[in-house]
């Protein structure tokens, strides 16, 4: 099993095939993604992540980390 601060990776057998299982723990602080000299904030929505604009990101952070 491989693990970093908030991720845990295992490989398991399912129906005769090996699958990769990735668990991601909640972060105690907001995490920002940086690409091409631009920071972005994504919020989990069901089984996907959606980028948020500045106002929505600020509101989300206040609701979830304050």
**CB contact set of 20 (below 8 Å; sequence gap of 6+):** 9, 10, 11
Report pLDDT for 1: 52
**Torsion angle of C-alpha atoms 27, 46, 14, 23, degrees rounded to 10:** 0
Contact 48, 55 (CB under 8 A): no
Q: Which regions in the chain score pLDDT beneath 50?
A: none
pLDDT at 16: 97
pTM above 0.85? Answer: no
Residue 49's nearest CA partner among 65, 31, 35 is: 31
Residue 6 has a pLDDT of 82
- Predicted local distance difference test score (pLDDT) of residue 46: 82
pLDDT recorded at residue 39: 85
Per DSSP bridges, beta strands 2-3 and 48-52 are unpaired
């Amino acid at each position: 099993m491989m693990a970093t601060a908030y991720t845990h990776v295992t490989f398991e057998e399912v129906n005769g095939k090996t699958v990769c299982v990735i668990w991601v723990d909640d972060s105690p602080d907001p995490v920002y993604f940086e690409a091409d000299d631009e920071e972005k904030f994504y919020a989990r929505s069901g089984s996907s992540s959606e980028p948020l604009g500045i106002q929505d990101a600020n509101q989300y952070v206040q609701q979830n980390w304050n």
